Each structure stands twice: as C-alpha cells, then as structure tokens.
Amino acid sequence: MVTLTAPEATAPALDGPTVVDLSGAPVRDLNQALHNAADGQSWTVTNPGGKHSLAVGINADATVTIEGHAGYYAAGMHQKGTVTVTGNAGVGLAENIMSGTVHVKGDASQSAAATGHGGLVVIDGNAGARCGISMKGVDIVVGGNIGHMSAFMAQAGRLVVCGDAGDALGDSIYEARIYVKGAVASLGADCIEKPLKAEHLAELAELLAAAGRTDNPADFKRYGSARNLYHFHVDNSTAY
C-alpha cells in the first residue's frame, strides 16, 4: 500500500493499481497525483468515507476505483478514463463530465451528471432530483428511479431511466432525448412523449449495452421537446 503524503506525488508504476488510503492521505494529495497521472495508470481509493471532490478534473486515460461511498462532486469535470464508485455518490456526481466513463454501483444523490457535455455516466441504483439537469451531450443510464426536475433544460445527450421518473421530467427541455421504462409522475413544461422509432430503439439498445444492462428497449417510452418555447410567444406565457 502507498500512502501519499506530498502534493506532488510520484506517478505510480504501470504494473498495478496504486492504492490511496484516504483514512490517512488528504483528498488534495489524491487529486494532485491524479492530475499528474499518465495514460494507462490505475488507482484504487480506499476508505473514501463520503469525502467531497474525489477524483475531480482527471485528464488522463486513467482508471480509478473508489471502494466505498463518495461525497459531493465525485469525478467532477471528468475528461478521460474511467472512475468507478462501488458505493453511493453524493450531490453533483460527474458534474460537467466531458468524456470518459463514470460508474456508480450504488445510488447517486441529486444533480447527477449536471451540465455534462459528453461521456457516459452509469448509475446502477437510483438517482435523486435533477438528474441530468442542463445536460449538454452526456449520456446517462440509471438502473433505478430518478427524482423530480430531472433533465431540466436538458440541451443534448440521452437520459435512460430503467425505473420510474419523478415530477416535471424534462422541464424546458431542448434537444436531449429521454427514455423511461417505468412510470413518469409528470412531464415538465414543453416536454412531450414522442414516438419510439427504429433509430431510437437502436440507440437505446446501444446505451443499455454500454451500461451493461439487459433491459428490452421496446419496453421504454421516449420523451423530448415540443419546441413551443423555442421562440417567445405571448400564448406560452404561462409556461415561462
């Protein structure tokens, strides 16, 4: 086991994961080491204890496994590589993710993958409110349910929900696409159900496979923008 003690930690050898024990090392040391990382390196983080800002700003094709629960903003602004959280994740999981993969095996709190521009975020369990809020190209696959106001102002990307969705799904949505297998409590302003065509079944199958799931794409419904809010009109004033 290697316990990092200096901000400018030495990059690990390529023959196995470097273990960072957060019961002793501060998060600052972990992140500085990850910012110094090279492609192909791997890391295991033990005793995360729900600490915030774990593995944020990674810009190398590295693999990081967080063994346990993560606090706010785990894998925030992720750019390359893969981060896996074996427990639950707090608010703002993978916020503003640009590329790469972030996988949570437990549940995620609110604002998961908020404003994400690209990459894939997989949540095996449930996600809280505002999942995919303002998403800008990220793909999100949630194995369980999602909370209210999810995909609010979602601009681009795909949100797949294998369970149920809370109130006001897709409120003020732009061009993002939403697929829900279970019940939707209510749709937000300008969000409507849309036909599930062959191309949608194909992209849904691809997303489910990427997330390691075996759900049947035909069991889902598709939601998207009615585009009534794209131009200000007095008749839509109650929707603003």
Partner 1 sequence: MTITSLPVPAQAPAAAPNIAELGLRESATFDRATIADIQRAAATGVYDIRGWGAKRKVPHFDDLLFLGASMSRYPLEGYREKCDTDVVLGDRYASRPLHLATPVTIAGMSFGALSANAKEALGRGASEVGTSTTTGDGGMTPEERGQSKHLVYQYLPSRYGMNPDDLRKADAIEIVLGQGAKPGGGGMLLGQKITERVAGMRTLPVGIDQRSASRHPDWTGPDDLEIKIGELREITDWKTPIYVKIGASRPYYDTALAVKSGADVVVLDGMQGGTAATQQVFIENVGIPTLAAIPQAVQALQELGMHRKVQLIVSGGIRTGADVAKAMALGADAVAIGTAALIALGDNDPRYAAEYSALGSAAGFYDDFQDGRDPAGITTQDPELSSRLDPVAAGRRLANYLRVLTMEAQTIARACGKSHLHNLEPEDLVALTIEASAMARVPLAGTSWIPGVQGSF
Q: Is 95 in the site for partner 1 (CB under 8 A)?
A: yes
Q: Is 174 in the site for partner 1 (CB under 8 A)?
A: yes
- The Cα–Cα gap between 75 and 79 comes to 9
The correct pick among 20, 45, 91, 146 for binding partner 1 (CB under 8 A) is 91
* Residue numbers 104-163 binding partner 1 by CB under 8 A: 110-111, 114-115, 117, 130, 133-134, 136-137, 152-153, 155-156
Q: Is 32 in the site for partner 1 (CB under 8 A)?
A: yes
* Residue numbers 218-237 binding partner 1 by CB under 8 A: 229-232, 234
CB of 106 to partner 1, least distance (A): 19
The correct pick among 18, 53, 63, 82 for binding partner 1 (CB under 8 A) is 53
The correct pick among 57, 193, 219, 228 for binding partner 1 (CB under 8 A) is 57
CB of 73 to partner 1, least distance (A): 4
Decide whether 42 or 155 has the Cβ nearer to partner 1.
Answer: 155
Sign of CA dihedral 27, 32, 35, 36: negative
Sheet of 18-21: strand order equals 18-21, 42-46, 63-67, 82-85, 101-104, 120-123, 136-142, 156-161, 177-180, 221-225, 191-194
Q: Is 193 in the site for partner 1 (CB under 8 A)?
A: no
Decide whether 145 or 150 has the Cβ nearer to partner 1.
Answer: 150
- The Cα–Cα gap between 20 and 145 comes to 32
CB of 40 to partner 1, least distance (A): 21
Binding residues for partner 1, rule: CB under 8 A, are 7, 27-28, 31-32, 35, 52-53, 56-57, 59, 71-73, 76-77, 79, 91-92, 95-96, 98, 110-111, 114-115, 117, 130, 133-134, 136-137, 152-153, 155-156, 172, 174-175, 229-232, 234
